[in-house]
Amino acid sequence: MSSSIDSLLAAIAQRIGAAHVLTAPEDMAPYLREERGLYQGKTPAVLRPGSTQEVAFIVQACAAAGIAVVPQGGNTGLVGGQVPFGEVLLSLQRLDRIRQVDPIDMTMTVEAGCILDKLHEAAEAAGCLFPLHIASQGSCRIGGNLASNAGGTAVLRYGNAKDLVLGLEVVLADGRVWNGMKRLRKNNAGYDLKHLFLGTEGTLGIITAAVLKLFPQPAQRATAFLAVPDPAAALALLKRLRGEAGDALTTFELMAAFGVETVLNHMPGTVRPFRDRYDWYVLAEFSAPTRAFDLAALMEESLGTAMEAGEVVDAVIAASQAQAAALWRLREDMSEAQKHEGGSIKHDVSVPVSRVPEFLARALPAVEALLPGLRPCPFGHVGDGNIHFNLSQPVGMDKAAFLAMWEAFNRVVHDIVVEMDGSIAAEHGIGILKREELAHYADAVGLDLMHRLKRALDPAGLLNPGKVIHL
């Protein structure tokens, strides 16, 4: 550790308290381990400020010393965006106050370090819904969700994380605070600056607080687990259900047989939904803020028509909340269950919704041709055109040898995605994992604009350097 960083850390310790400047390896370890084990972080110190002003102090002090900063929320990111490689790590976890919940404005004002599930609870306590639902919601933090524009299982109805934001507070690269904490539904007073920071993974500024939209709480829910002949039938079903239920259709998830069987094999307490086995499944959930009509009846009638049309071949309808939860586990436990099947090479891609069947029809044989015995596990948010195109290794293959093929699989899968006008990063972001892929595929004008923004907002390149784009 150089003396320049020593004196920087001393100044920061004086401001935020020595207890919040972690330098012992065992204290720092939880911030440097990363979910997928793809990266090992390295930092001189983990800083845990307790307020926006302390974040600003740290960023300003680091900028003055020419030291780069990596912001981190719950450390649940899947593309390494939150991993430091020698930079100072700034953890937002202590900024965890819910400043206000307003059920008339239908807004919630929160700090970046709030755990997502706490926001669900706070909204519910006020008779409202905060609809962002992702697998890591018990530990991820809203600042990270916003910086990475998280997606999840309710995007079909409520949009991505950034669609849920009205206002933002951000610490800029030079330590100034931009206060954009408006809770307005309409505001055209100048450029809408919050979009500089939503989804830009901490490379243009550090989100410290946000005003979020709330929604009416569902008064009824209806959940069904369906067997469908193929992805094309799933799409036809999607169109039918949206036509009949409109926005009451809030979840529509597609799963291949391998994934469901993997959950049933490995996750204790999971229950086989059908006596028979099928190739493709759909989890559909309906919800409505009103009791003015019978949602379950509407769902059952729609599904009946869909069965007559051959879009659905078998169906289980949850008769209780417990049954609904059991059906959800078949989808929610999929990433966890896959860990029991050895190495997994993951692609988080999207294509236009109408082209999901075509994507699967092209990508599945292509990856199987690259490695015979491969066990593809495609699943995800088909209503958003977003497929988690995960690939489990062949049985018995060496895990490291399999994972070494990651780039080769990227090329095959991403070539198809890009040819189909899709995205190689649908909801997990770019981080470090996909930076070279982005550089490979992104159009030159778009990349140039990204670089211009980075230079305009962080000319010294001190905010999460090397993430998303090279500077």
| Residues of this chain, 300-339, that bind its own copies according to CB under 8 A | 301
**Binding string, residues 136-175; x marks residues near its own copies by CB under 8 A:** ------------xx-x---x----x-xx--------x---
Q: Which stretch binds its own copies (CB under 8 A): 7-15, 239-247, 253-261, 360-368?
A: 239-247
Residues 250-309 that bind its own copies (CB under 8 A): 288-290, 292-293, 298, 301
Q: Which stretch binds its own copies (CB under 8 A): 64-72, 99-107, 114-122, 263-271?
A: 99-107
Q: Does 468 bind its own copies (CB under 8 A)?
A: yes
Residues 364-403 that bind its own copies (CB under 8 A): 381, 383-386
Q: Does 55 bind its own copies (CB under 8 A)?
A: no
Q: Does 245 bind its own copies (CB under 8 A)?
A: yes
Select 323 or 423, whichever has its Cβ closest to its own copies: 423
Q: How far is the CB of 165 from its own copies (least distance, A)?
A: 12
Q: Which stretch binds its own copies (CB under 8 A): 20-28, 40-48, 303-311, 424-432?
A: 424-432
Contacting residue, 246, 304, 310, 373, with its own copies by CB under 8 A? 246
* CA angle at 77 for the pair 203 and 459, rounded to the nearest 5°: 5
Q: With CB under 8 A, what is the number of residues at the site for its own copies?
A: 90
Q: Does 189 bind its own copies (CB under 8 A)?
A: yes
Select 273 or 422, whichever has its Cβ closest to its own copies: 422
Select 77 or 343, whichever has its Cβ closest to its own copies: 77
Select 124 or 247, whichever has its Cβ closest to its own copies: 247
Contacting residue, 33, 42, 99, 195, with its own copies by CB under 8 A? 195
